[in-house]
Amino acid sequence: MLAAHEAGDRAALVALYTEAAEASADPDAAGFFLTHAYVWALELGHPAVATLRARLRAQGREE
C-alpha cells in the first residue's frame, strides 16, 4: 500500500484498500479502508465507485 501511495498508483490503491477492508475483522477498520477505497475510486473515475458506495451505505457509513 505504501509503494502504491509513493507511486501515485490510484488504481492499485482502490484494489489494496478494498482488499484490506475485506480482510479486516474489525468493522471500524473495514469501514476506514472501504472509505479510502471509495475516495480513491472517485478521484480516478474507477468502475467500482457504485459498488463501493453501496457497500458503505449497507454498513451505515453513507446516507
Beta carbons of 36 and 63 less than 8 angstroms apart: no
At residue 4, does pLDDT exceed 80? yes
Whole-number pLDDT of residue 62: 80
DSSP calls for 19-49 = HHHHH-SSHHHHHHHHHHHHHHHHHHT-TTH
**CB-based burial, 29-53: b 16+ in 10 Å, e otherwise:** ebbbbbbbbbebbeeeebebbeebb
Q: Which H or E run includes 50?
A: helix 49-58
Whole-number pLDDT of residue 56: 96
- pLDDT tens digits for range 9-54: 999 999 999 999 999 999 999 999 999 999 999 999 999 999 999 9
